[in-house]
Structure 1
């Protein structure tokens, strides 16, 4: 139903909350990096919030629609056009068979989202349509979309003419500085007070060596609590080493002196400490940050993080929409 003329950069099919229940077998959740924008795109066209859609990274695809439908674009502003005419983001609109959508380079933010009425209808793999590139699972062939492919879409009437008001949209950083919430743990007691103070007061630059598996950060060195040195040999020789244990998604994984935020396609366990964890409701900020931009971290309680997630889920419903 959608023909891929140009693929863009790592354009993939995702659904929310992704592939659950298989992480212990090596298959992470995957799913959209910015679930706020993704869910809102689906709600705009009349889909369930988690229906499969398209995530475009940095440079979007060029797509031809082979039947009439309803679409919505959210997330990064990719200055999209439909048959050469600008497409307003955060609104649902009707498209006709034969029309061509061009999603360009991201101007603000990093990842753009396309929802189509009915949702992408690729086969489920391990309970999800989400693409996990590194294992070749999900999507159309286990990988990012390629020019020449046809993307199937389920049939649905859609809801054109809806918009997400400004108050219900994520506010992207315009100064290249992102304020990111974190919760302490699971291994915060391996860092001394000076290390905690330094982490929470420093600017951390997002490295170009970052992807859907992990976000590598550049910043000051860490310092460690006595237990990081006075430990059993099976924990390993470096202060950041610990006996292999489970990693939460969003863990700030301390590989030696390099913090790496474990993202949607990250590993489920390993032998490094995780002093902090980015809660799921703050992932949209990570998703929209570009390499070279600055992350600043603010500690919140687990209860506050849980409320953030509940508030976000409650927002991503048709009740948030208004007529365009």
Structure 2
């Protein structure tokens, strides 16, 4: 019997993702992609005995319905989409042993915005440019799932059942205000000192017009420094314009008066300033934030960002697993 998964209902842009993503192709216009919430993604893989970076499914806002065509282990982590197996509720952040013919159904995201489904052996789609990660908008590595699609699954001998203790799980609450760790730079000197301070002390609302390419924010108006107001013509007309340069992942890209956080499927270069950069360890919060929720930015430095990343790394290791 083939190890595969049948897509009964695709959900909303359910995609195969893999870490570290599609490395080495930024200069050709291909983003890294990969899972938006790497913390939940890695924990799902650990629960089913995979390498923590193996290919798995990312589900956003509305999850899929999947039928398993062989016995395997599965796990659902991340945002709460009320998973059910053959119509019965099942726990999240816990290994589930499924039999051939059983069906997993995920619903609307009750808490958070994105869930992750891992299966023992990993999703075994064909790599494209070295990765199985899907860049849906361009169809690189495939596209979002469609009804009737079959997903191949790799071989696995995993059989043990585990759970992730509450203290090691991402804290995803209902209608929360998210505190997002961010660093000043690289272009914070193009803003007035007052505006830099205001960025870290204001409420920012996540717009519905957001995606894995960028998260648009609504908040206070930006004021610019003399450097932006009295620049050479080659930098462009608007104060937020600058000679084309590289964009770091997580950059808060300022297009006029609209800040856009550049995330997994974002462009890597352009002609707008990036006054702030979200720490990579805070990406999981961006992934789980819903439109109209509030973001508040907490200023940290590089050492603080490294410490946050190390803390999450300790919670995505096999040592954190408890037997179910």
TM bin, normalised by shorter chain, reads over 0.9
Q: Distance in 1 between matches of 2:115 and 2:281?
A: 18
The number of equivalent residue pairs is 321
Q: Distance in 2 between matches of 1:217 and 1:133?
A: 23
- Answer yes or no: is the 8 Å Cα contact 1:71–1:116 preserved in 2: yes
For residue 255 of structure 2, what is the aligned residue in structure 1?
255
2:87 aligned residue (76, 84, 89): 84
Deviations 1:44-74 (A, max 9, x none): 1110110000000000000000000000000
Deviations 1:248-300 (A, max 9, x none): 01000000000000010000000000000001110000000000100000010
- Answer yes or no: is the 8 Å Cα contact 2:242–2:271 preserved in 1: yes
For residue 210 of structure 2, what is the aligned residue in structure 1?
210
Name the SS for the 1:281 alignment partner: helix
TM-score if structure 2 supplies the norm length?
A: 0.98
- Answer yes or no: is the 8 Å Cα contact 2:180–2:297 preserved in 1: yes
TM-score if structure 1 supplies the norm length?
A: 0.98
Counterparts of 1:294-313 in structure 2, within 5 Å, are 294-313=294-313
- Answer yes or no: is the 8 Å Cα contact 1:31–1:130 preserved in 2: yes
Q: 1:160 to 1:72 in 2, by over 3 A?
A: farther
Q: Distance in 1 between matches of 2:307 and 2:25?
A: 26
For residue 147 of structure 2, what is the aligned residue in structure 1?
147
For residue 16 of structure 1, what is the aligned residue in structure 2?
19
Structure 2 unaligned blocks of 5 or more: none
- Deviation of 1:160 after TM superposition, in Å, equals 3.7
- Answer yes or no: is the 8 Å Cα contact 2:110–2:174 preserved in 1: no
For residue 61 of structure 1, what is the aligned residue in structure 2?
64
Q: Distance in 2 between matches of 1:68 and 1:20?
A: 33
- Answer yes or no: is the 8 Å Cα contact 1:190–1:228 preserved in 2: yes
Q: Distance in 2 between matches of 1:230 and 1:73?
A: 53
- Answer yes or no: is the 8 Å Cα contact 1:36–1:284 preserved in 2: yes
For residue 268 of structure 1, what is the aligned residue in structure 2?
268
Worse-superposed segment, 192-201 or 172-181: 172-181
Name the SS for the 2:310 alignment partner: helix
For residue 224 of structure 2, what is the aligned residue in structure 1?
224
Name the SS for the 1:201 alignment partner: coil
Q: Distance in 1 between matches of 2:160 and 2:145?
A: 26
For residue 48 of structure 1, what is the aligned residue in structure 2?
51
Counterparts of 1:76-225 in structure 2, within 5 Å, are 76-138=79-141, 142-225=142-225
Q: Distance in 2 between matches of 1:297 and 1:304?
A: 14
- Deviation of 1:197 after TM superposition, in Å, equals 1.6
Q: Distance in 1 between matches of 2:312 and 2:90?
A: 26
- Deviation of 1:134 after TM superposition, in Å, equals 1.7
- Answer yes or no: is the 8 Å Cα contact 1:17–1:29 preserved in 2: yes
- Answer yes or no: is the 8 Å Cα contact 1:250–1:278 preserved in 2: yes
Moved over 6 A (4+): none
Deviations 1:216-264 (A, max 9, x none): 0011100111100111100011111100000001000000000000010
Deviations 1:9-51 (A, max 9, x none): 0100000121111111111110100000000000111101100
Structure 1 unaligned blocks of 5 or more: none
- Answer yes or no: is the 8 Å Cα contact 2:7–2:147 preserved in 1: yes
- Answer yes or no: is the 8 Å Cα contact 1:44–1:159 preserved in 2: no
